[in-house]
Amino acid sequence: MQMNREALTRAYRQMKLIREFEERLHEEIQTGEIAGFTHLYCGQEAVAVGVCEHLSERDKIVSTHRGHGHCLAKGCDVTGMMKEIWGSQEGLCNGKGGSMHIADLEKGMLGANGIVGAGSPIGVGAGLALKIDGPDGDGKLGVAITFSGDGACNQGTTFEAMNLAVVTKAPVIFVFENNHYSEHTGNSYAVGTANDIASRAEAFGMKVWRADGTDFFAVHDCMREVLDYVRTPGNGPAAVEFDTERFFGHFEGDPQRYRGPGEIDRLRATRDCISKFRDSVTQAGLLPDADLDAIDTETLDVIETAVKASRAAPRPTAANVLENVYITY
Amino acid sequence: MQMNREALTRAYRQMKLIREFEERLHEEIQTGEIAGFTHLYCGQEAVAVGVCEHLSERDKIVSTHRGHGHCLAKGCDVTGMMKEIWGSQEGLCNGKGGSMHIADLEKGMLGANGIVGAGSPIGVGAGLALKIDGPDGDGKLGVAITFSGDGACNQGTTFEAMNLAVVTKAPVIFVFENNHYSEHTGNSYAVGTANDIASRAEAFGMKVWRADGTDFFAVHDCMREVLDYVRTPGNGPAAVEFDTERFFGHFEGDPQRYRGPGEIDRLRATRDCISKFRDSVTQAGLLPDADLDAIDTETLDVIETAVKASRAAPRPTAANVLENVYITY
Amino acid sequence: MAKLMYRDAIRNTIFQEMQRDARVCVLGEDVVGGMGTAGGPEAIGGIWSTSTGLYDAFGADRVIDTPISESAIVGAAAGLALAGKRPVAEIMFADFIGVCMDQLWNQIAKFRYMFGGKSICPAVIRMPCGAGYNAAAQHSQVIHQFVTNMPGLKVVMPSTPEDACGLLRQAIRDDDPVIFLEHKFLYGMSGEVSDDPDFCIPFGHARLARAGLDATIVAAGMMVGYAEAAADELAKDGIGCDVIDLRTTSPLDEETILDSVEVTGRLIVVDEAPPRCSLATDIAALVASKAFASLKAPIEMVTAPHTPVPFARELESAYLPSPAKVAAAVRQTLSYR
Amino acid sequence: MAKLMYRDAIRNTIFQEMQRDARVCVLGEDVVGGMGTAGGPEAIGGIWSTSTGLYDAFGADRVIDTPISESAIVGAAAGLALAGKRPVAEIMFADFIGVCMDQLWNQIAKFRYMFGGKSICPAVIRMPCGAGYNAAAQHSQVIHQFVTNMPGLKVVMPSTPEDACGLLRQAIRDDDPVIFLEHKFLYGMSGEVSDDPDFCIPFGHARLARAGLDATIVAAGMMVGYAEAAADELAKDGIGCDVIDLRTTSPLDEETILDSVEVTGRLIVVDEAPPRCSLATDIAALVASKAFASLKAPIEMVTAPHTPVPFARELESAYLPSPAKVAAAVRQTLSYR
Ligand SMILES: Cc1ncc(C[n+]2csc(CCOP(=O)(O)OP(=O)(O)O)c2C)c(N)n1
Ligand SMILES: Cc1ncc(C[n+]2csc(CCOP(=O)(O)OP(=O)(O)O)c2C)c(N)n1
Ligand SMILES: [Mg+2]
Ligand SMILES: [Mg+2]
């Protein structure tokens, strides 16, 4: 484990922030105020946070259609994101992108992505850039991390990206979040190798790791090793498969008839990364319940503030449509 | 081995036909009479023939930019092909396709292909069609075979095709001809796993085979097993990697500066599938030299006739440009 | 005749054609919906409800749920068609053509030509397209401008449930490859649909949706409704418009367009695509080269701007053509003397 | 000034920019040529000789030879650019856009817009294109009609060695993504090229390649030479043509076109692409909507037919535009009264 109080607190706060962000969105979407397609990350928080807590701003991440968790974990502004999802002119992307296209280049967040599998090659490019930059004073490289789902691992671009990273020895980590579903299809059907994505990556010539994605400490420990490996010049890429769970539908509005009876209740009861984290740190006496409760309350406040600000934020106007296509034209 | 005299003779004739077709093209191309890009198959004949000798017209094959060998092995007409490469109106494709686009649907030859990796999904489709058709009286399925190079095995489409075939249990065989080069690049560089394509296929959930592609009998025996497996309903796809050699450049005109000193001479001396076949059948007393010599002579005649006919064949005219875009429009 | 929604007209036509012809098969992502899950096949039945019930009726060999692999989907459709079947493939959003264009453009479209006329490739590729759902830049696009440029493909853009039925049946029975573009915003549209099991609408014949003598409005797919609304609005002011619903952009019914412009002398083209190298410019160029003598005013094009599709509601509605913009363009052309 | 071939102008410009700016890097298939072989890196040095010597000078980090994975190439260029580099990626044949269009169209082109203006993506994607080598349907195509439609991309079509140099330098220094279309048939063309290390040609400014008062011929890339040849031929008969070399199709220099047509009243557009939803229709539509009053005759478009590119010599030359076809179109428009 080797995490100090501050680190543990931060991790919990980050996971909780994602959770409440999503739970609140789930409510708000029902009112019809929020437009577009929204894919909630709830249930997978330990992956985003367990990965990103190791990263600095130099490191880059590339995300997916289910990107809120990765964005928040990499440090994107909560209110800026909420405003974006609300479609405000003050959103992180001026209301141009919405849920599926949140990015913050300054934070090293190179974008959520609506095209399944498109992020992987982009991540390789970011890794190649970091390779050109070379190691820091500490002899370690910056890394690029691409998040992909079990569905994305069937898209040709993902495979090409893995091979290119191996060939070029790019400092890239392919993080596969296996939540067992791509839309309404089970991975036991769509992934020829069923519950095994890591072996595919291995066959591309990469070192691979696997861990329980609902166990924050498993993710965090695993990523320490992976990062240590990939940051070492000359080693090249690696892949990690995390076994995780999606608590909501594929997108908001999904009737989820493909789920087994009681499936979600069972997942919430037994595979909730946040409850597991909480149980483990309180039982080990590392953090008192009261501290965590305080974070819970703070988080709800942060979200409430973000929602209020989003509601009140200025809307874009027709004139804005034409802006920001080019820098010069 | 288990091949009778007739089968052995046929196999030799087919390999020799491809060889002489290519050697002659290599000469003719120097004269400038033949236009376009031509990729010669010389050196790889044992693969095309060792695979296709097992097939019936019901079975389909999908080829590559280096397609002459596959076409001839699947039964395309020699003169029709030569005329096509010459760009004649009487060519197999009326001079519209040329070397890279030869096809003969009636023979189950679904086309050479100028786009690297494009053939694999098409092969899966053909396999799915054969799966819909179901087994023959003998309880066996027709199969679709896709040929790909070691370079093509880095193209996303190839990976998608493999996964789709596994998921749908399509009767498809992915034949990888590893000739160690994609254009001017060595496969030890471009394939993350270097000389191992089969393991990648395996990681997609397929049964795989490997054999020496310069040994006709190794190919033929191996394919008997593979076909037996894939023709059995319910088994789904398989992959085979053949280690083989390309005797000419990537395309005609390639200066081949990437080859080692004496490399081609060495390959011709030690890795020539036709010499190896000949040595093996004559030494084992299966076929007398005289019979093989007779085939050699016949083959040269066939090619000579094809070339003469191609030279004399009618050329297409401007009016032909507009034909055969649609059936009705 | 039966009253049907556009999406049901599509689903029913596929169903009927599958019943009629054992060569017809369906493939795409989640077209079964629920494969490999506790809910099982048909738990969802296609995210657009255009394939509901097909799996139960025709089984896994003919209703093929695929992984997220668009190149493999279109490529498999190509192979199925070359091998004698009549595949109807679905690409969930037309925007995904970016990952599978080769199979459409370099394979399916070109086989017959490259092979000297010796093959048929009767594949139908269905692609839900278009904006209006605030789905932002990567889930809101139209792509008829690309596929119309591609020789060898036929391109269909039905604007009503009736047309969806008749044109889809024609597409499935057609021996050439067809790109079938369903506007997502039309899925919920209701209308009378013929129940003749052989009802087909031939390609290359436009439909005159409104008749008038003052101006010619050309549109296809979703834009037809906007053109009609504009025409109806203008009619109140005594302005009469021909509204030509192209139905298919390839083949193109040049005659109907040219005949109309010869009468009206004024052309307005409505297109949801960005303006450059688009269907709008295509129709404009046709008229400027073949009906020049009849033209009385500059050609007006009502299109999206040269920008990606924006997310926010205000932005997206400003981005899209609308009846008001069409009407304004008609008035503009009429103001020219 | 130095006399250089088009291909060397490109190679030299990349070389100089790599020397000048450590952020510039190159990637593509066989751009080094010989990786993993006995001959070793640079054994070939790029199949178009447009990257010869780069690897030896700048090393493997900045000159990245890639596997046959076009989506990964363009995607990596996207990532490199977002992460602060200035990648110059090569797609060996423009025809391969079919397997990587998503990364161009939905990623590189849209980042800035989707991200609310908060990113720059200075990627250059070089694509050798065009017919003339009997390379048949999948290795002979032009693709400017597709990329010009895509908001967010700039599209460059140099027609001379000088332009190849000045426009490529501008492309590499430009902060927006640029699709750089090199016609394969021009690689061997020689011409004077400025040796000013900062010689840039700004985008959106067409070049008047010939001046005349009787008709306006608009062309880009390879087609410019045909237009010039036609104009020279016609000049002998006392017919004067403006020949406008667009240089970039996006941004488009509308003003130069419209100004010319205002004088000549007659427009001929020359385009190697098939005719539908093409650059030819784009320019025609522009003029028909914005210079209508000046037009004295139907617009003529000289394009490829609506067919794939055929293989045989006779077919390919019948397929392509030519100086004679351009001249005939000019005479046609002049015959109209
Ligand atoms: C190229 C492409 N194909 C299909 C889709 C539609 N789609 C969006 S998300 C998704 C499922 C993705 O599954 P997975 O990768 O497992 O991610 P998860 O949704 O489970 O996070 C699909 C099919 C898309 N956006 N892009
Ligand atoms: C999509 C695509 N990318 C690149 C090319 C150019 N190209 C043609 S053949 C070839 C090498 C293919 O290598 P391999 O698959 O090993 O086949 P081989 O030539 O060895 O038979 C390349 C890069 C192409 N035709 N299509
Ligand atoms: Mg998933
Ligand atoms: Mg090879």
Domains of chain A: 5-322 (3.40.50.970)
Tokens of D34: 């010989």
CA C210/CA A195 separation, integer angstroms: 57
Average pLDDT on C93-120 reads 98
For residues C192 and C2, the answer to whether their CB atoms sit within 8 Å is yes
Residues D222, D144 share a domain:
no
Specify the number of domains making up chain C.
2
Residues C241, C172 share a domain:
no
Distance to chain C for A323, nearest Cα, Å: 8
For residues C88 and C24, the answer to whether their CB atoms sit within 8 Å is yes
Residue numbers of chain A with a pLDDT score lower than 50: none
For ligand 2, atom 20, which residue shows the shortest CA distance? Answer: B182
Q: What is the pLDDT of residue A195?
A: 75
CA D33/CA D171 separation, integer angstroms: 24
Task: Choose which residue among B183, B188, B197 to substitute to test ligand 2 binding: the one with the highest number of ligand atoms within 8 A of its C-beta.
Answer: B183
Instruction: Pick the atom of ligand 1 nearest to A250's CA.
Output: 19
Residues D167, D242 share a domain:
no
CA C81/CA C122 separation, integer angstroms: 6
Cβ neighbours of residue D1 closer than 8 Å, sequence gap 6 or more: D192, D193, D194, D195
Residues C233, C105 share a domain:
no
- For D83-121, where are the alpha helices, taking DSSP H only? 101-102, 111-114
Nearest to D134 among B98, B189, B258 (CB): B98
Q: Give the residue from D143, D168, D193 where a domain finishes.
A: D193
Query: In C81-188, at which residue ranges do the beta strands (DSSP E only) sit?
Result: 86-90, 124-129, 154-156, 178-183
Chains that touch C (3 or more CB pairs under 8 A): A, B, D
Is the pLDDT reported for residue B108 higher than 90? yes
CA C217/CA C323 separation, integer angstroms: 12
For B244-301, write each residue's pLDDT tens digit: 999 999 999 999 999 999 999 999 999 999 999 999 999 999 999 999 999 999 999 9
Tokens of D213: 């008062």
Q: What is the pLDDT of residue B317?
A: 97
Distances (CA, A) of C208 to A85, B123, C242, D269: 42, 43, 7, 31
Ligand nearest to the CA of A250: 1
For B67-85, write each residue's pLDDT tens digit: 999 999 999 999 999 999 9
For D99-117, write each residue's pLDDT tens digit: 999 999 999 999 999 999 9
Residues D220, D146 share a domain:
no
Tokens of B244: 């083989």
Give the domain CATH number at D330.
3.40.50.920
Residue C200 inside a domain? The answer is no
Q: Which candidate, A18, A49, A72, places its Cα nearest to that of A247?
A: A18
Distance to chain A for D109, nearest Cα, Å: 8
Residue B113 pLDDT level (bands cut at 50, 70, 90): very high
CA D319/CA D222 separation, integer angstroms: 15
For residues C288 and D288, the answer to whether their CB atoms sit within 8 Å is yes
Average pLDDT on C64-93 reads 98
Report how far ligand 3's centroid is from the alpha carbon of A152 (Å): 8
Contact A317 C71 (CB under 8 A): no
Residue D201 inside a domain? The answer is no
Q: What percent of chain D has pLDDT over 70?
A: 100
Average pLDDT on B210-214 reads 98
Residue B191 pLDDT level (bands cut at 50, 70, 90): confident
Residues C167, C71 share a domain:
yes
Report how far ligand 2's centroid is from the alpha carbon of B263 (Å): 21
* Mean pLDDT, chain D, whole residue set: 98
- For C244-278, where are the alpha helices, taking DSSP H only? 254-264
Instruction: Pick the atom of ligand 2 nearest to D99's CA.
Output: 1
B152 lines ligand 2 (CB under 6 A): yes
Interface membership of D98 toward C (CB under 8 Å): yes
Sort A138 into a burial class: Cβ within 10 Å, 0-12 / 13-18 / 19+.
exposed
Is the pLDDT reported for residue B1 higher than 70? no
Q: Which amino acid is at D232?
A: D
Contact A167 B189 (CB under 8 A): yes
CA A246/CA A46 separation, integer angstroms: 12
Distances (CA, A) of A167 to A264, B180, D25: 41, 15, 17
Q: Give the residue from D193, D219, D234 where a domain finishes.
A: D193
Residue B193 pLDDT level (bands cut at 50, 70, 90): confident
Give the containing element (helix H, strand E) for D269.
strand D267-271
Residue C229 inside a domain? The answer is yes
Q: Which residues of B touch A (CB under 8 A)?
A: 154-160, 162-163, 166-167, 189-194, 199-200, 202-206
Residues D149, D108 share a domain:
yes
**Residue numbers of the domain that contains D218:** 207-334
Q: Which candidate, C95, A299, A5, places its Cα nearest to that of D102?
A: C95
CA count, 13 A, side-chain hemisphere, C115: 26
Q: What is the largest CA-CA distance in chain D?
A: 68
CA D82/CA D72 separation, integer angstroms: 15
Cβ neighbours of residue D294 closer than 8 Å, sequence gap 6 or more: D261, D262, D263, D265
Residue D139 catalytic? yes
Residue C70 inside a domain? The answer is yes
Of chain C, the end-to-end C-alpha distance in Å amounts to: 46
Q: DSSP for C273-328? A: S-STTSHHHHHHHHHHHHSGGG--S--EEEE--SSPPP-SHHHHHHHS--HHHHHH
CA D232/CA C175 separation, integer angstroms: 47
Residue C326 inside a domain? The answer is yes
Residues C153, C9 share a domain:
yes
Query: In A79-184, at which residue ranges do the beta strands (DSSP E only) sit?
Result: 144-149, 172-178, 181-182
Q: Give the residue from D144, D160, D193 where a domain finishes.
A: D193
Phi and psi of C145, rounded to 5°?
A: -65, -35
Report how far ligand 2's centroid is from the alpha carbon of D106 (Å): 26
Query: In chain C, at which residue ranges do the beta strands (DSSP E only) sit?
Result: 2-5, 24-29, 63-66, 86-90, 124-129, 154-156, 178-183, 190-193, 207-210, 215-219, 241-245, 248-250, 267-271, 300-303
Distance to chain A for C214, nearest Cα, Å: 31
Task: Choose which residue among C68, C70, C140, C184 to substitute to test ligand 1 binding: the one with the highest number of ligand atoms within 8 A of its C-beta.
Answer: C68
Pairing of strands D248-250, D154-156: antiparallel
Q: How many CB pairs under 8 A join B and C?
A: 161
Q: In what order do the strands lie in the sheet with C63-66?
A: C63-66, C24-29, C86-90, C124-129, C178-183, C154-156, C248-250
* Mean pLDDT, chain C, whole residue set: 98
List C139, C144, C183, C306, catalytic entry: C139
D99 lines ligand 2 (CB under 6 A): yes
Q: What is the pLDDT of residue A16?
A: 98
Residues D159, D25 share a domain:
yes
Residues C225, C180 share a domain:
no
Q: For residue C102, what is the nearest residue in chain D, using CA coordinates?
A: D98
Pairing of strands C248-250, C154-156: antiparallel
Instruction: Pick the atom of ligand 1 nearest to A116's CA.
Output: 26
Sort A316 into a burial class: Cβ within 10 Å, 0-12 / 13-18 / 19+.
buried
For D38-83, write each residue's pLDDT tens digit: 999 999 988 999 999 999 999 999 999 999 999 999 999 999 999 9
Residue D200 inside a domain? The answer is no
Q: What is the pLDDT of residue D337?
A: 85
Report how far ligand 4's centroid is from the alpha carbon of D96 (Å): 18
Residue C202 inside a domain? The answer is no
Ligand nearest to the CA of C28: 1
Contact B132 C74 (CB under 8 A): no
Contact A205 B192 (CB under 8 A): yes
Residues D154, D45 share a domain:
yes
Residues forming a β-bridge with C179: C125, C155
Give the domain CATH number at D178.
3.40.50.970
ipTM tops the 0.95 cut: yes
Q: Tokens 């690897």 correspond to what residue?
A: D55
Q: How many CB pairs under 8 A join C and D?
A: 171
Contact C289 D310 (CB under 8 A): no
Instruction: Pick the atom of ligand 2 nearest to B149's CA.
Output: 15
Q: Which amino acid is at A244?
A: T
Which 3 state secondary structure label does DSSP give A194? coil
Residues C113, C244 share a domain:
no
Ligand 1 pocket, CB under 6 A: A 65-66, 114-117, 149-152, 179, 181-183, 246, 250; C 29, 68, 70, 92, 96, 99
Q: DSSP for A31-62? A: TT-S-S-----TT-HHHHHHHHTT--TTSEEE
CA C264/CA A136 separation, integer angstroms: 71
Distance of CA C80 to the CA centre of its chain: 23
Burial B249-269 (b: 16+ CB within 10 A, else e): bbbbebebbbbeeeebeebee
Is the pLDDT reported for residue B24 higher than 80? yes
Tokens of D172: 């590499």
Residue D176 pLDDT level (bands cut at 50, 70, 90): very high
For residues D68 and B155, the answer to whether their CB atoms sit within 8 Å is yes
Residue D26 inside a domain? The answer is yes
CA A214/CA D8 separation, integer angstroms: 56
